[in-house]
Structure 1
Amino acid sequence: MTGCRVTRKQRVLFLCRDNATLSILAEALLRELDGLHFDAFSAGLEPADKVQAAAMGELRHGFSSLELLNPKSWLEFTSEWAPQMDFVVTLCDESARVDARAFHGAPTFRHWTLTPSAYGAAGAVENAFWQILKRVEDFIAAERRPWPSLKLPAVAGCTPDACDLLLSGQ
């Protein structure tokens, strides 16, 4: 097709210390809310053995692809065969100190500061979920690139109605 462009999804890596709660929530929310435009990943500086049960509890209702969620080391995303990220979003002060030069290309770095209610207290994971949900929604609104318009080759005598019939296969 003449004039047709293909745009790849933007890749986003969420980083936190243990990749057991905050970055997992962010990964799952971005994938669920706009997986058509973004590839979401998460990792930790010191990955936990498993995802925190409370985080999975927040995600269990209606979320797809939960089997993809598991703690990983951020070093998996700095190796020579790692996918190049467009964005790296840090979710804790420790991960905010990661050297940007470790990543391929020049990803845009963002740091999301969560309020203290997201850490350590009763209901902390639920509070973190709602804070991260708002941040992910704002991120999507600000960073989603529109899909390129489809340009069909000109066909002699083709009216818009006739072209619609050709596209629908009738």
Structure 2
Amino acid sequence: MSDRTYNVLFLCTGNSARSIIAEAVLNRVGQGRFKAYSAGSQPKGEVHPYTLQLLKTLNHDTSFARSKNWEEFAAPGAPQMDFVFTVCDNAANEACPVWPGQPMTAHWGVPDPAAAEGTEAEKHFAFDDAYRMLNNRLSIFTSLPMTSLDKLALQIRLDEIGRSSQKAE
């Protein structure tokens, strides 16, 4: 088993909900094998209050949470990424910065909970649902045998995770 820590960047447009949730989840379920980061192409400048409320309710540390531009991770001295995942359709279709080290990439689209409409309960459910989807995908991701999969097999698995069911089961 490798003692290597893998750096993972989650990208979204606003970096206020989905990518922040993914960062929190992976830093917990990755158990030190993964170090997660998040950023946005057009960061909102603040984390959505429902994101913070959900993470705190689920006993996640939120001291890391800030909305930041993805250019921060393409700059000299930034951590070199092993994986870069887009979690929203807008970011997947945008021109991304060139990532040093050619990390593996995949698109794991999740509906934007910040765009949810309806009652407060329905809006909170959208955040809960985004958390569930990301938690499921990241649980699968962290269980992959990283050291025994070749790059092509690993890419296929990453793409499969992104296509996994988005609906509650």
Q: TM-score, normalised by structure 2?
A: 0.74
- Report the equivalent of 1:30: 26
Q: Residues of 2 paired with 1:116 and 1:62: CA distance?
A: 20
Aligned residues with identical type, % of pairs: 32
Question: What is the deviation of 1:98?
Answer: 4.2
Question: What is the deviation of 1:120?
Answer: 1.6
- Report the equivalent of 1:127: 129
Secondary structure, aligned partner of 1:128: helix
- Report if aligned partners of 2:17, 2:113 keep a CA contact under 8 Å in 1: no
Amino acid at match of 2:74: T
Mind listing any 5+ residue stretches in structure 2 that lack a counterpart? 149-169
- Report if aligned partners of 1:119, 1:125 keep a CA contact under 8 Å in 2: no
Q: Among residues 17, 23, 27, which one is paired with 2:13 in the alignment?
A: 17
Q: Residues of 1 paired with 2:18 and 2:58: CA distance?
A: 19
Deviations 1:111-159 (A, max 9, x none): 112258885242211111111111111111125559xxxxxxxxxxxxx
Question: What is the deviation of 1:83?
Answer: 1.2
Mind listing any 5+ residue stretches in structure 1 that lack a counterpart? 147-170
- Report if aligned partners of 1:31, 1:38 keep a CA contact under 8 Å in 2: yes
- Compare relative contact order (CA 8 Å, sep 6+) and give the higher one, 1 or 2: 1
Residue 72 in structure 1 maps to residue 73 in structure 2: no
Q: Evaluate the alpha carbon distance shift between residue 42 and residue 101 of structure 1 in structure 2; reply closer, same or farther with a 3 A threshold.
A: closer
- Report if aligned partners of 2:88, 2:111 keep a CA contact under 8 Å in 1: no
Secondary structure, aligned partner of 2:67: coil
Supply the RMSD in Å over aligned alpha carbons.
2.4
Q: TM-score, normalised by structure 1?
A: 0.74
Aligned residues: 142
- Report the equivalent of 2:144: 142
Residue 95 in structure 1 maps to residue 97 in structure 2: no
Question: What is the deviation of 1:20?
Answer: 0.3
Which has the greater radius of gyration? 1
Amino acid at match of 1:28: A
Q: Residues of 2 paired with 1:16 and 1:133: CA distance?
A: 16
